[in-house]
Amino acid sequence: MKYIDEYRDEALAGKLVNELRQVVTKPWVLMEVCGGQTHTIVKYGIDHLLPDEVELVHGPGCPVCVTSLEMIDKAHAIAQRPEVIFCSFGDMLRVPGSKVDLLVLKSRGADVRVVYSPIDALKIARTNPHKKVVFFAIGFETTAPGNAMAVWQAQKQGLTNFSVLVSHVLVPPAMAAILQSPLNRVQGFLGPGHVCTVMGYQEYEPIAARYRVPIVITGFEPLDILEGVLMTVRQLEAGAAEVENEYPRVVKREGNRVAQDLVNSVFEICDRKWRGVGLIPKSGYKLRPEFRKQDAELLFEVEEIDTEESSVCISGLVLRGVKKPHDCPAFGTACTPTRPLGATMVSAEGACAAYYAYGRHLQEEKRKVEPIGTNH
Amino acid sequence: MEEVNEVIPGAALGTCPLPLSDYQEIVLAHGSGGKISQQLIQEILLPQFRNELLDVQHDGAVFSVNGARLAFSTDSFVVSPIFFPGGDIGKLAIHGTVNDLAMCGARPLYLSAGFILEEGLSMREFQAVVLSMREAAATAGVALVTGDTKVVDRGKADKLFVNTSGIGLVPEKVNIHPGRARPGDKVIVSGEIAVHGIAIMSVREGIEFETEVLSDSAPLNGLVSAILAVAQDIHVLRDPTRGGITSALSEIALSARVGILLDEAQIPISEEVKGACEILGLDPLYVANEGKLVAIVAPEDVAPVLSAMRGHPLGEKAAVIGTVTDEHRGFIFMKTRIGGTRVVDMLSGEQLPRIC
């Protein structure tokens, strides 16, 4: 595949790893912010290629993982209504709420549909005028323009049976929260490439300066990750703390102005609760008052929700980079993708699920006695 | 299973009460071919019907009747849409059972077909499916010798569902089943993977490619004959349908208690399928095939089998993609394209597209 295979080249990867070995002189802890980056790291076994000095910890950037339990229970309550067609991105279907997941609700007769884009949900609303179509608008700044576009189009077209349940979250406040924590170990960040495609990276400059951490905006292919790690370690070794862009083929400093304007015209900033992390001030988007007719939270009266989290699950600590998935006593035993206790085990982007899918529960045990695989 | 001469029906009937599965109801993931499907089979079905033939858990059962070795298999087809690029539900139903028999090393002979028709299905569509089945059966060299039709209320089925069952003759000395994979054996795939699943997804999601992706649905009995003509002692054959090559290989690894080490760079995947998987957020290792097989053969058989496959129209792009190991028993490991290593685990349910 042109423009993708180039970024998965074994020889170039080896070159970057060698360069990294020459640059690094002491231990560093780096966090990749995005779930997509975590996915690439474990999918390609990148962390096993890195020198021992470089430790990668996994960030909070998995949107389905950080969506609060209250919001998921609310979604379930709405999806169960007979007049509703509930539309969602695919990986949300298996995220457990307090009691069940959307797959179970579907099997009990709820009309739950997987869409690739909120615009598809809009089409469903147009072809089902007697149903109320609700789209579960989750995600970071990356999905905000698409979701904003759906709301804006619905209003423009006078589509009265389309609404969104908004649980948008924002990256910079979460990074600041991680850095402020007394448990923080993170010394440098691989910044969120696709979030910055939309938002640009100006807003990361004050974070780098204030907390003295290098932030390298990084893409999602193996060579992107390796180059991002190399650039971050170079800064750390040199005592620098700047925002750099590893992903210029997509990201510009100012981002996508048209998308930002659209987002700002539909959403406004609000406080938001993150699953496993807690309330972070000014860390989310909600609909502006002029779009309240499209706000599912207001349209559907949902009873007071009593949520229950698993008492064993440490997903909160995993999402903040304090612990790794295999530090959890339930990892790979009581908690597996077939029976997840927390959201980080559900989405492919969740650190626990990524660790599990790519066999880290086996490898960590194995590693103590012998090297992995036979082709190293 | 080495050789079973007779089965006494009901001899080893399970007596335990049905254990509860994690889900209190059937969810779609139970049909995915992943771990939850396995759970359904292992916990609900197998304990009740336990017998030597079923325990092999092959694509079909192989047994002897009056000295003749027969293979027997069944499969149901519920694909939507019923017509898709490169095929239709009827063709798929013939190929599915023909292939299950072929994976036992059998020469497929006779098929049955059971139709569940939805009220309101257009006669033209039904006829088109039936004609396509006739053609597919003729190409595969099998006769459809018995059948059944039922009609259900509108909405109780999705146009039509088909079940086919079939029997075939297993040649003397051929002994193919998943338990026979041995450390040192090589894993060969007969061509580019993930084509059928992507052909279906592209219609469902309305994705267009520069060159249309056509389902690879095809009868594999000819290819299997070509393989057996050059190497009779094939250890395992499997057609990696739902759940893709990962599910097929995981089942083999579990059944034979061996590990399998794949080499990502050697797995044949077309550019179109790679591109579609990138767009749809899917991993081709989990996407369905309907005209491919995976063969596990002793090292000395690799060269003749590979050249026999490449000489057959359905095996032109055959490639060695891995090795059976005695490490990591029950698991699939893979050397990644950039030189790392990882486990390729069976998915728990459906492969769900990721948010971004």
Assign 3-class secondary structure to chain A: CCCCHHHHCHHHHHHHHHHHHHHCCCCEEEEEEEHHHHHHHHHCCHHHCCCCCEEEEEEEECHHHHECHHHHHHHHHHHCCCCEEEEECHHHCCCCCCCCCHHHHHHCCCEEEECCCHHHHHHHHHHCCCCEEEEEEEECCCCHHHHHHHHHHHHHCCCCCEEEEEEEECHHHHHHHHHHCCCCCCCEEEEEHHHHHHHCCHHHHHHHHHHCCCEEEECCCHHHHHHHHHHHHHHHHHCCCCEEECCCCCCCCCCCHHHHHHHHHHEEEEEEEECCCEEEEEEEEEECHHHHHHEHHHHCCCCCCCCCCCCCCCHHHHHCCCCCHHHCCCECCCEECCECCCHHHCCCCCHHHHHHHCCHHHHHHHHCCCCCCCCC
Q: Quick one: tokens of A89?
A: 């991105």
Question: Touching check for B341 and chain A: CB below 8 Å?
Answer: yes
> Is A60 a residue whose pLDDT tops 80?
yes
How close A235 gets to chain B, by Cα (Å)? 25
Question: Touching check for A363 and chain B: CB below 8 Å?
Answer: yes
- Nearest CB to B342; choose among A43, A94, A194: A43
What is the per-residue pLDDT across A150-165, written as a single tens digit (0 to 9) for each? Answer: 999 999 999 999 999 9
> Is B350 a residue whose pLDDT tops 90?
no
Contact at CB, B353 and A114, closer than 8 angstroms: yes
Contact predicate B272/B213, CB 8 Å: yes
Whole-number Cα distances in Å, B116 to B126, B157, B227? 11, 8, 36
**pLDDT number for residue B147:** 97
Question: Touching check for B21 and chain A: CB below 8 Å?
Answer: no
Of A176 and A375, which is predicted with more confidence?
Answer: A176
Chain mean pLDDT for chain B = 90
User: Domain segments of chain B: what residues?
Assistant: 56-169, 178-344
Contact predicate A150/A164, CB 8 Å: yes
Least confident stretch, A166-180, B161-175, B206-220: B206-220
User: What value does the mean pLDDT take over residues A27-47?
Assistant: 93
User: What value does the mean pLDDT take over residues B176-183?
Assistant: 96
- Nearest CB to A14; choose among B36, B261, B339: B339
> Is A93 a residue whose pLDDT tops 50?
yes
Of B236 and A101, which is predicted with more confidence?
Answer: B236
Closest by CA to A96, choosing from A373, A290, A365, A353, is: A353
Chain A residues with CB under 8 Å of B23 CB are 104, 107
> Is B266 a residue whose pLDDT tops 70?
yes
Contact predicate A241/A207, CB 8 Å: no
**pLDDT number for residue A233:** 98
Chain B residues with CB under 8 Å of A108 CB are 25
User: What value does the mean pLDDT take over residues B283-292?
Assistant: 95
Query: Residue B94: which residues within 8 A CB-CB, separation 6 or more?
Result: B111, B133, B136, B137, B140, B142, B164, B219
> Is B186 a residue whose pLDDT tops 70?
yes
> Is A258 a residue whose pLDDT tops 60?
yes
Q: What pLDDT band is residue A48 in, cutting at 50, 70 and 90?
A: confident
Whole-number Cα distances in Å, B34 to A104, B5, B41, B162, B245? 17, 32, 11, 22, 11
User: What value does the mean pLDDT take over residues B184-196?
Assistant: 98
> Is B36 a residue whose pLDDT tops 80?
yes
How much is the pTM? 0.85
Question: Nearest chain B Cα to A336, which residue?
Answer: B348
Question: Touching check for B335 and chain A: CB below 8 Å?
Answer: yes
Contact predicate A32/A188, CB 8 Å: no
> Is A71 a residue whose pLDDT tops 70?
yes
Chain mean pLDDT for chain A = 90
> Is B53 a residue whose pLDDT tops 80?
yes
The Cα B171–Cα B228 span in angstroms is 10
Q: What pLDDT band is residue B315 in, cutting at 50, 70 and 90?
A: very high
User: What value does the mean pLDDT take over residues B53-68?
Assistant: 92
Of A315 and A232, which is predicted with more confidence?
Answer: A232
**pLDDT number for residue B89:** 97
What is the per-residue pLDDT across A122-139, written as a single tens digit (0 to 9) for each? Answer: 999 999 999 999 999 999
Q: Greatest CA span in chain A, whole angstroms?
A: 65
Q: Quick one: tokens of B307?
A: 């050249």
User: What value does the mean pLDDT take over residues B99-116?
Assistant: 98
Closest by CA to A241, choosing from A262, A265, A266, A214, is: A214
User: What value does the mean pLDDT take over residues B254-274?
Assistant: 95
End-to-end CA distance of chain B: 46
Closest by CA to A5, choosing from B319, B337, B198, is: B337
Question: Touching check for B209 and chain A: CB below 8 Å?
Answer: no
Q: What pLDDT band is residue A7 in, cutting at 50, 70 and 90?
A: very high
What are chain A's domains?
Answer: 1-313 (3.40.50.11740), 315-367 (no CATH)
**pLDDT number for residue B179:** 95
> Is A86 a residue whose pLDDT tops 70?
yes
**pLDDT number for residue B278:** 87
Query: What is the percentage of chain A residues whose pLDDT exceeds 90?
Result: 66
> Is B15 a residue whose pLDDT tops 90?
no
Of B251 and A62, which is predicted with more confidence?
Answer: B251
Q: What ipTM is given for this predicted complex?
A: 0.78
- What is the domain class of B178-344 according to CATH? alpha beta
Chain A residues with CB under 8 Å of B326 CB are none
**pLDDT number for residue B10:** 32
Of B275 and B186, which is predicted with more confidence?
Answer: B186
> Is B205 a residue whose pLDDT tops 80?
no
User: What value does the mean pLDDT take over residues B61-84?
Assistant: 95
The Cα A230–Cα A208 span in angstroms is 17
Q: What pLDDT band is residue A361 in, cutting at 50, 70 and 90?
A: low
> Is B209 a residue whose pLDDT tops 60?
yes
Chain A residues with CB under 8 Å of B260 CB are none
- B56-169 CATH choice from 3.30.1330.10, 3.40.630.30, 3.40.605.10, 3.20.20.60: 3.30.1330.10
> Is A318 a residue whose pLDDT tops 90?
no
Query: What is the percentage of chain B residues whose pLDDT exceeds 90?
Result: 75
User: What value does the mean pLDDT take over residues B329-356?
Assistant: 83
**pLDDT number for residue B135:** 98
Query: What is the percentage of chain B residues whose pLDDT exceeds 70?
Result: 92
Per residue, the 3-state secondary structure of chain B, as one string, reads CCCCCCCCCCCCCCCCCCCCCCCCCCCHHHHCCCHHHHHHHHHHHHHHHCCHHHHCCCCCEEEEECCEEEEEEEEEECCCCCEECCEEHHHHHHHHHHHHHHCCCCEEEEEEEEEEEECCCCHHHHHHHHHHHHHHHHHHCCEEEEEEEEEECCCCCCCEEEEEEEEEECCCCCCCCHHHCCCCCEEEECCCCCHHHHHHHHHHHCCCCCCCCCCCCCCCHHHHHHHHHHCCCCCEEECCCCCHHHHHHHHHHHHHCCEEEEEHHHCCCCHHHHHHHHHHCCCHHHCCCCCCCEEEECHHHHHHHHHHHHCCCCCCCCEEEEEEECCCCCCEEEECCCCCEEEECCCCCCCCCCCC
Chain A, residues 176-215, CB within 8 A of chain B, namely: 194
Whole-number Cα distances in Å, A223 to A50, A132, A219, A243, A334? 12, 45, 9, 19, 35
Chain A residues with CB under 8 Å of B28 CB are 103, 106-107
User: What value does the mean pLDDT take over residues B245-253?
Assistant: 95
User: What value does the mean pLDDT take over residues A51-69?
Assistant: 90
**pLDDT number for residue B212:** 81
The Cα B113–Cα B144 span in angstroms is 7
> Is A231 a residue whose pLDDT tops 90?
yes
User: What value does the mean pLDDT take over residues A312-330?
Assistant: 83
The Cα B140–Cα B142 span in angstroms is 6
**pLDDT number for residue A368:** 36
